Chains A and B, each alone.
Chain A
């Protein structure tokens, strides 16, 4: 085999040269990433990454020095799932008589991190693939790149098709293989282009994000979407924007949110999620201190019938307050002061402007104070009136909802309760429309509010057929 003095004719030598050049050009155009050098004096270096079509299980067993070529120690000490294995580095020379009379000569085969133990076997397998007169390099690269050679080297289990590798220290090799797999996956992702179905453009992977459900969107769109939801407090919509995922209610996980929005956004997102969970419990009151707002639980060890039942203390800022009026704790007996001041305001308003009664109240409490109270009272009253007139309270979480458009079947964006916008009744999510279809009920046929201006619908007269 090692007979470098094989004599060939000039014509054959020329043909070999042409064929070698052709083969190299083909290889370079198909697998540019596998070629790490030009042919210099017949020597060529290849670096071939191994990429499986689907992730495969790889079992790493401890190599026993007594029997280096067979796997006698069959205890798998590490098991990992990988889509890629580190590159094989191959150095070879192309003899002047290749491919007509001689195969390529392998100078060396190296596996990064020494993950492959059976290199001599691979040597033979590759050399045997050559048929006189045919180029072997393309088959070699294909054979290695796809991982088909593992089968030839008897490294694939016939039972579950997992790959069996032996190594002196599997616990060191396993994390290296995983790290390589992750980094090659992410570089693969960032090199490809993906269409973002929100901005309807195609972007480089480095500008995109693959969510755990497998859907890919550009980071800018995800950021715009999630930022808006987080700002508006609509935490339930922070998830994959794909229609199926929206219907399934798939919410994003923290690492995804953290990769898309700012740190402040992540904090607010986390806070909103906690708040949403707490809001499901109606006994929880938020601390009235504007800067605190911590959730305050209802004490369990207190007689609810006594005045003490309305005492709450914030666990964060230790503010003690009355659960009814949300003001500083005023003892178990004293009634809420808000009622008192309201009484005063009502008394004041009942009296005529410029009357002696008004004058007395103004004198007793100070004109400016009374004016302030009246203003607050009127503001609150207007607020309440507006809430009553233009919104409906969700029967699930008491959140006021204002309808801008559409039918009267509402779904609360906060607690997902289905309800009727007309009467506030809870509706079954499975069958929300019966409420509007039972003759005789007040909401019968009232799924839509009648708007007089819509009655001006006209038939299309002289309509041109298209």
Chain B
């Protein structure tokens, strides 16, 4: 048995035995080198109550080369690509050390959710949102946590801003622009359907140029 397999097996076993960290690692298929990690969103953040899944690929020369990780669950966070789930964290690149483990790396991702670094934005659109209006950013992050990560949603925020939730703009919370929604609504589609499709297609920021109107309409007609 080679050293890489031995180490990965040990890491998986160690994660199973550790009941306190709440980090889970599961096999996706037969291979122990393609895994799915998951952890709960940290408390006291818009990600609280959510369950976040991460795609893990163990490279050939692990642990001497960094593990490849990206979010499977869509996350609204300045340091995570809202389009692909890619993460640009130093320890996943040049600051990787063979001493780091799957568990410690997943814990680092978890703490990344606690402390967004809008000055090192990975997703400029989200970072702009974060810097301009933190409360509006948080509304969107809570909404995304609810619909993509099974979070409790804004109802949990009892006593605070219950009147605001009545008037909250569905379009803004989905991270979309009113003009885009209006444009497709004008074609005769239902507003809620338009929001749903645009959100799924990630019709935001630079992606708008990448997605043709035909593609959107095609989705709307499904």
Interface residues of A (CB under 8 A from B): 197-200, 220-221, 224-225, 228-229, 241-243, 245-247, 405-407, 409, 411, 413, 431, 433, 436-437, 444-448, 450-452, 454-455, 457-460, 463-466
- Which B residues are CB-close (under 8 A) to A220? 3
Q: Taking the complex as formed, is B147 at the interface, i.e. its CB lies under 8 A from any CB of chain A?
A: yes
The reply on B41 being an interface residue by CB < 8 A is no
Contact indicator A447/B121 (Cβ below 8 Å): yes
A contact residues around B101 at 8 Å (CB): 200
Which residues does chain A contribute within 8 Å of B119, judged by CB atoms? 431, 433
Per the bound structure, the CA–CA distance linking A437 and B7 in Å amounts to: 40
- Interface pairs (29), CB distance under 8 Å: A197-B99, A199-B7, A200-B10, A200-B11, A220-B3, A224-B64, A225-B64, A229-B64, A241-B97, A242-B97, A247-B95, A405-B86, A409-B88, A431-B119, A445-B206, A447-B121, A447-B123, A448-B84, A448-B86, A450-B206, A450-B210, A451-B83, A455-B202, A455-B211, A457-B202, A460-B147, A460-B150, A464-B150, A465-B51
B63 pairs with A198, CB closer than 8 A: yes
C-alpha gap A216/B7 in the complex (Å): 18
* Chain B residues closer than 8 Å to A447, beta-carbon distance: 81, 88, 121-124
CB pair A460 B99 closer than 8 Å: no
Given A197-B99, A243-B95, A460-B148, the answer on whether A455 and B201 have CB atoms closer than 8 Å is: yes
Q: In the complex, how many residue pairs between chain A and chain B have their CB atoms under 8 Å apart?
A: 122
Cα–Cα distance between A148 and B68 once the two chains are bound (Å): 55
Chain B positions 41-99 with a Cβ under 8 Å from a chain A Cβ: 51, 61, 63-64, 68, 73-74, 81, 83-86, 88, 91-99
Least CB distance from A433 to B in Å reads: 5
Check A221 against B83 for contact (C-beta < 8 Å). no
Separation of A197 and B63 alpha carbons in the complex (Å): 11
Contacts of B96 in A (CB 8 A): 246
B190 → chain A, closest Cβ, in Å?
18
What size tier do the contact residues of chain B reach? 35 or more
Closest 6 A-B residue pairs measured CB to CB? A463-B150, A407-B88, A445-B206, A243-B97, A454-B84, A448-B81
- State in angstroms the CA–CA spacing of A242 and B125 once bound together: 35
B213 beta carbon closer than 8 Å to chain A: no
Question: Inside 8 A of A455's CB, which chain B residues have their CB?
Answer: 83, 200-202, 207, 211
Closest beta carbon of chain A to B10's beta carbon, Å: 5
| Complex alpha-carbon distance, A220 and B97, angstroms | 16
Instruction: Report yes or no: A436 in contact with B124, Cβ–Cβ below 8 A.
Output: yes
B207 touches A448 (CB 8 A): no
Question: Which of B81, B98, B147 has the largest count of A CB atoms less than 10 A from its CB?
Answer: B98
> Least Cβ distance of A459 to chain B in Å?
4
Minimal beta-carbon separation of A303 from chain B (angstroms): 43
Q: A436-B121, A447-B121, A447-B124 are in contact. Are A465 and B150 (CB under 8 A)?
A: yes
Closest CB of chain B to A33's CB: distance in Å? Answer: 33
Cβ–Cβ < 8 Å partners of A406 in chain B: 86, 88, 92-93
Q: Which of B86, B94, B127 has the most CB of A within 10 A?
A: B94
* Complex CA distance for A431 and B120, rounded to whole angstroms: 8
Report yes or no: A246 in contact with B97, Cβ–Cβ below 8 A.
yes
**Most chain B CB within a 10 A radius of its CB, from A241, A444, A448, A452:** A448
Nearest Cβ in chain B — how far from A290, in angstroms? 28
Interface residues of B in 113-163 (CB under 8 A from A): 119-125, 127-128, 147-150
**Shortest beta-carbon distance from B129 to chain A in Å:** 12
Query: Which residues in B have their C-beta under 8 angstroms from that of A463?
Result: 51, 149-150
A411 to chain B: closest residue by CB: B94
A452–B201 Cα distance when bound, in Å, is 9
Cα–Cα, bound, A331→B7 (Å): 60
Q: Closest B-chain residue to A246, C-beta based?
A: B97
- CA gap between A36 and B24 in the complex, in Å: 54
Asked if A459 and B7 make an inter-chain contact with CB atoms under 8 angstroms apart, the answer reads no
Q: How far is the CA of A458 from the CA of B99 in the complex (A)?
A: 35
Q: CA of A221 to CA of B3 in the docked complex: distance in angstroms?
A: 9
Chain B: which residue is nearest A241 at the CB level?
B98
Assembly CA distance A55 to B217 (angstroms): 77
Q: Would B206 and A199 count as touching, CB distance under 8 A? A: no
The distance from the CB of B54 to the nearest CB of chain A, in whole angstroms, is: 14
Whether B51 and A454, one on each chain, are in contact in the complex, defined by CB atoms closer than 8 angstroms, is: no
**For the complex, is B32 an interface residue (Cβ under 8 Å from A)?**
no
Whether A246 contacts B95 by the Cβ 8 Å rule is yes
B100 interface contact, C-beta 8 A: yes
B93 — which chain A residues lie within 8 A by C-beta? 406, 411
Picked from A200, A241, A457, the residue with its CB within 8 Å of the CB of B7 is A200
- Bound CA–CA A221/B10 (angstroms): 15
Chain A positions within 8 Å of B81 at CB level: 407, 447-448
Q: Is the beta-carbon distance between B64 and A228 smaller than 8 angstroms?
A: yes
Chain B residues within 8 Å of A229, by CB: 64
How long is the Cα–Cα vector from A409 to B79 in the complex, in angstroms?
Answer: 13
Q: What separation, in Å, do the CA atoms of A198 and B84 have in the docked complex? A: 31
Cβ-defined contact, A221 with B122, below 8 A: no
**A198-B98, A241-B99, A463-B149 known; 15 other A-B pairs, CB under 8 Å?**
A200-B10, A406-B86, A406-B88, A407-B88, A433-B121, A433-B122, A437-B121, A444-B124, A445-B123, A447-B88, A448-B122, A454-B83, A457-B85, A459-B148, A463-B51
CB distance from B217 to the nearest CB of A (A): 15
Alpha-carbon separation in the docked complex, A314 to B98 (Å): 40
